[in-house]
Amino acid sequence: MIEWQVLSSASKNLRVNLDPRTKLFLLITICILVIGGQINGIMLIIRPALAAISLILLFTAGKRKISNICIGVYVFFFICENFILPVMTGTLGFILLFFSGFITRLLPGMVMGYYTVETTSVSEFIAAMKKIHLTKKIVIPLAVMFRFFPTVIEEYHAIGDAMRMRGIRFGGKNIFKILEYRFIPMMICSIKIGEELSAAALTRGLGAPVHRTNICRIGFHFIDIFLIFLCIALFILSILSKIGVF
Amino acid sequence: MNSSKSQAKDLVNIGIYSSIYLVITMLLSFLSLIPVFHPLLAILCPIVGGVPFMLFLTKTRKFGMITIMGIIMGIVMLLTGMGYFCLFTGLVFGLLADIVAKSGNYVSAKKSILTSGVFSIWYVGNYLAAFIIRQSHYDHIIKSFGQEYADAYMSFYPNWMLPVLFAVCFISGIIGGFLGKALLKKHFKKAGIA
Amino acid sequence: MIKLQGIWFSYGNENTGDELRNINLTIPEGQVVLICGESGCGKTTLTRLINGLIPNYYEGKLQGSVLIEDTNISEKPLYDIAPLVGSVFQNPRSQFFSMDTTSELAFGCENIGLSEDLITERMERVVSDFQISYLMGRSIFALSGGEKQKIACASSAMMEPKIFVLDEPSSNLDIKSIGDLAKVIALWKEQKKTIIITEHRLSYLMALADRVIYMKNGEIAEDLRIEEFKNIPQKEIYNMGLRSIAPITFQHHNDKILEKEMLELSNFHFSYEKIPTLEINHLKIPKRSIVGIIGNNGAGKTTFARCLCGLEKKSAGELQIGRKIFSGKQRLNQCYMVMQNPSHQLFTEEVMDEVLLSMEDDTEENRELVNKVLHDLNLQGLKNRHPMSFSGGQQQRVAIASAIVSGRSMMVFDEPTSGLDFRHMKEVARNLQKLGAMGNTLFIITHDPELIAECCNYFIFMEQGKVLWSGGWSDLNMQRIINFFEATQYMELIHR
């Protein structure tokens, strides 16, 4: 086995290595069941269960600080929604209800999305996209997009620095000027880099009409299968509850 | 020209312009941490996003490129936890925008501004979650707080807002198209790109 | 064997005129060819013909034929040329496609559909050839320019082409990385690859090239064996507009007497992700000097410059001039930084507006001043053009113009001569000297010994975030500088 692969996995010993396809399936499950789910019957269990899965995954990914914050926020609003609000009335209760409604429903999806982005290398993601037979016409732009995102951000910061250094500030000047100074050079610089990038990629055979191979090995493990079955079970339960079996 | 060799270049371009478009959208979205700005984003994002989009259109000559960009928007929004709704809106309005652009042979200035308007409607997908959450909350609120509260609650995202959002995104997209056209002339053509 | 026959080419946009005129060139297998010439002489265009980017990516009017092993590659799509010709470009930031090094190495082979096992096998070989196992599995964004360039070379080697085309590969590298690059080229030469390389920095290639082609105005002006080229006297080389081919000699700048008045820097500290990258407790620099900041990449030079300009909010350091003390925030209005990529600091659509932006208001008087400055910097004729349409050198001059009118007394230049030919380097040096003579204190981060010889009169040598030594042109310091540029000299590395 090649040395570097051992090295890179040793540093993340607690990490549960999920297949990117599992992560995406979980993400979609969470989006559908948590955002749209009812607040009664079996859904009272399914929603927090899915939230817990996303939060636990984030925790095991080694993102302690951010996962602790998310867990805290979620637990707080979950308790509000389920235990405090039913006995509370008045404006404060109403505001809390408003926030808890949104946060308990949106946070799990965001956490799962963040977890997916943080723990999936782009090559793994691309390999997964290929495995689910997504066309090259989407996979290639998507790969470029991920690759290019940090570059655009870098350009944005470099331009921000230059503005500070040159003392360009906008005391009362119009919003159009801010956008023009901030975004136009960013776009021009990014596009120039992008042209070089695409030339370089083409000299290395991108777009050849052959079956593209991929050295990135992904595959399902026990934990993947477990989570996928769990998701399917939760889907079935929620449908049963909707048609009134429970 | 051999079609598959320029296809690779096109696909890379889609990635690059999607990236720029998304960075701008996300930088603006930081405003949405202040709740008042949340609905305002439906105006701001399509307007500002119109600039890179119009630039993208100058590189678009083939059917499908705009649709792919729409799908990419959907995938990214899914990953940022905004729900799966943008997958649909991105696909549908990307495709419609593609049809509009195609009808102008990808060169008509008027059609390209209209394309920008149609494409921008994908952004409505970001708001659908709010409507669905509200809906599923409705019964619950009536039970525990009474009709009055439930109505107040509904007024944050009243039903009539959905068509309004569609219209707002469309019109903002058109404005963004004009803005992009103007900046294309002012900056990008002179700078030697586009 | 590469054969270019009767090539005429023009990009066919507003910069009219032919980019290449009547090129006839045969390159036998296994030859290392150095193509040199001033900026705009057509050498980059020539490389694009060989790797097929012309006419496949950059469109234009092309006459003649480019043959590799008797196939006309101008008629082939790029993906068919990719396994034949490997390319390395100038900018390390823009030529990688993946986020991590391992996928990047595999990228080309995956594109042409090689089997996974074969790719792994090749990768093990390339990794050991290039000695880059320590770079594997890492995010490319976190690598230094030199490391990125190594990965770029390794990635093109993965395709096992017979021909390598390198377009100014050393432009953004420090001395040490150039040594590494030289080793890579030596390895390819050993493997009997054909190598075509365009460069401004020539000295590191003197031990490697077999043949030198000098281009001028789109034509091949000279086609020499390396021995013949090496015999050209230095003066003649400069007349051709080329950089030095011999190690640089430094002279005492005794005519420049340093000021007594000092800039005093204290407590310049900075950490990146808890790793200290800058630790300067105390440093004195004579006012109105031209300070060369030298050291290898990663030594903290850019961090130092950013802290000096007040761009790093977290850095607490203080700068004292006379009795006045400037905090980081106050330094933002005292320092002007000309960035390595000046297009980051240009915002408007005309040069005039751009320079006026640095001034309080747009009055007749100010406009006159701007006109004068633009005239001094040879920008008069470009006044109404969009700064973003300029070449790097022209953009740099626009940035210098706005630095001058902003009335700041300290200016920082981040590698102002990277990728410049002799004439442009001289021009930058002249401008820097002019700025110095106007009473400004200049800080110049540079890897360019010729620029140092031309204009610096004080030095800061950095290593691991610390100032190892600083001072003027004393005998000791001169020896140190000579050692620095030579100790890492490429020649010895190659003749190991």
The pLDDT tens digits for C425-454 are 888 898 898 888 888 899 999 988 889 988
ipTM of model: 0.88
- Residue type (1 letter), B86: C
Residue C162's closest CA among C262, C48, C51?
Answer: C51
How confident is the model at residue B33, as a pLDDT? 65
Measured in angstroms, the CA of C474 and the nearest CA of chain A are apart by: 34
- Region A142-152: what's the mean pLDDT? 90
Are the C-beta atoms of C346 and C392 separated by less than 8 Å?
no
Q: Give the global pTM.
A: 0.89
Task: Give the closest residue to C329 by CA, choosing from C318, C340, C342, C343.
Answer: C318
B89 lies in some domain: yes
CA distance A33 to chain C (A): 33
Interface test with B, best of A187, A193, A197, A202 (most B CBs within 10 A): A187
Question: Smallest Cβ distance to B79: which of A107, A117, A184?
Answer: A117
A176 near C CB under 8 A: no
**C164-223 pLDDT per residue, tens:** 999 999 988 888 888 889 999 999 999 999 999 999 989 889 989 999 999 998 999 999
CA distance B91 to chain A (A): 12
Q: Which of A143, A206, A210 comes nearest C113 by C-beta?
A: A210
Q: Is the peptide bond before C55 cis (omega within 30 degrees of 0)?
A: yes
Is the pLDDT at C247 greater than 60, yes or no? yes
Q: Please report the domains of chain C, with CATH numbers, ordered by start residue.
A: 2-239 (3.40.50.300), 262-494 (3.40.50.300)
**Does B131 reside within a domain?**
no
Does residue B130 lie in a domain region?
A: no
Pick the closest to residue B79 from C69, C74, A149 (CA basis).
A149
User: H/E/C letters for each residue in chain B?
Assistant: CCHHHHHHHHHHHHHHHHHHHHHHHHHHHHHHHCCCHHHHHHHHHHHHHHHHHHHHHHCCCCCCHHHHHHHHHHHHHHHCCCCCHHHHHHHHHHHHHHHHHHHCCCCCHHHHHHHHHHHHHHHHHHHHHHHHHHHHHHHHHHHHHCHHHHHHHHCCCCCCHHHHHHHHHHHHHHHHHHHHHHHHHHHHCCCCCC
Could C388 and B192 be called an inter-chain contact, meaning their C-beta atoms sit closer than 8 Å?
A: yes
Q: Is pLDDT at A14 greater than 60 in this prediction?
A: no
User: Can you give the pLDDT of all 194 residues of chain B as single tens digits?
Assistant: 344 447 888 999 999 999 999 999 888 887 666 666 777 888 889 999 999 999 999 988 899 999 999 999 999 998 887 778 899 999 999 999 999 999 999 888 899 999 999 999 999 998 888 787 777 777 767 766 677 777 777 776 778 888 999 999 999 999 999 999 999 988 888 887 77
Domain carrying residue B84: 3-124+162-188
> Chain B within 8 Å of C486 (Cβ-Cβ)?
no
Q: Between chains, do C57 and B8 touch, taking CB under 8 Å as contact?
A: no
Report which residue type is found at A168.
I
* Among C124, C144, C145, C149, residue whose Cα is nearest residue C136: C124
In a domain? residue B7: yes
Residue B41 located in a structural domain:
yes
Residues of A in contact with C332 (CB under 8 A): 164-165, 167
**Does residue C102 sit at the A interface (CB-CB below 8 Å)?**
yes
Residue listed under structure tokens 């002339």: B185
Residue B139 lies in a domain: no
- Over the Cα atoms of chain A, what is R_g? 23
Q: Do the domain assignments include residue B172?
A: yes
Tally of domains in chain B: 1
Inter-chain residue contact C97 with A197, CB threshold 8 Å:
yes
A35, A156, A202 ranked by CB distance to B129: nearest: A35
Q: Which helix (H) or strand (E) holds C109?
A: helix C101-111
What pLDDT is attached to residue B147?
Answer: 75
Q: Is B76 on the interface with A (CB under 8 A)?
A: yes
For a pLDDT cut of 70, what percent of chain C falls above it? Answer: 96
Which residue in B2, B186, B187 is closest to C77 by CB distance? B2
Task: Report phi then psi at C435, rounded to 5.
Answer: -60, -40
Q: Least CB-CB distance to B14: which of A105, A141, A188?
A: A141
